[in-house]
Amino acid sequence: MFLRRTPIEGDARAGAQLYTQCATCHGVDGLGNEALGAPALRGQNDWYLVTQLKNFKQRWRGNENGDTFGQQMMAMTQILTDDAAINNVVSYINTLGRD
């Protein structure tokens, strides 16, 4: 049985400002960039994104030798100062591709 979770709530406008850093690798449209090792974020489950951002921020992901992309993500998540910032950027990502 799968539990249905409510969408992440945050300030998408504040998240848009934070996302400008993410867009460097993941693209302004959130479709990612394979050459940079940056997966697509658009359309991804918001709870998954929150969990992974927290994992990078807490250094549970990306801390192994040779994990260049993971180490980049660990560094980038430091701009997300708290859970609200993480929720804000993920809320913005949720808006990508919605016209």
Judged against a pLDDT cut of 90, whether residue 12 lies above it is answered with yes
Whether 4 is in a domain gets the answer: no
pTM beyond cutoff 0.75? yes
pLDDT in tens, 37-70: 999 999 999 999 999 999 999 988 877 888 878 7
For 59, the token pair is 């250094």
Residue 2 domain-assigned?
no
At 80, which CATH number? 1.10.760.10
Q: Which domain holds residue 54?
A: 12-95
What Cα–Cα distance (Å) separates residue 86 from each residue in 11, 36, 43, 63? Answer: 10, 22, 17, 20
Q: How many folded domains does the chain comprise? A: 1
Question: Does a structural domain hold residue 82?
Answer: yes
